[in-house]
Amino acid sequence: MIISLNSKPETKTLEEKCKILDIWDVLSRRWSLLILRNLSSKNVIRFNELKRSLNNISNTVLSDRLSELEQEGLITKKIYPQIPLKVEYRLTTKAKDLEPILQSLSKWCEKWELKK
């Protein structure tokens, strides 16, 4: 085995190490995980249906969270040009890859009886 004295160990930048913090910033916002959970239970969901499934969320907060999740590539929004306006939301493949993680987190919370 030859060891090079000039080779440096691979170092990652602080930015690369902290990518989890970027997504955690989005997911940790109030309602984000519940929105994703409710979207994962259906193929497509409309704004008002989603709002009814989330107790006490305002239209403004729901709209803001949906926009943030869309910007992160976790959901898609499809607008139908009709009157009244029809808007549908669905999970992206990227968000669907999160489902096992969210299910594990939910099981962990149940196991340890973690509550609000």
- Between CA 25 and CA 1 the distance in angstroms is 44
Q: Which fold has domain 18-111?
A: Arc Repressor Mutant, subunit A (1.10.10)
Amino acid in the structure at residue 42: K
Q: Is the pTM of this model over 0.75?
A: yes
Span 58-110, pLDDT tens digits: 999 999 999 999 999 999 999 999 998 899 999 999 999 999 988 898 888 88
Span 33-59, pLDDT tens digits: 999 999 998 889 999 999 999 999 999
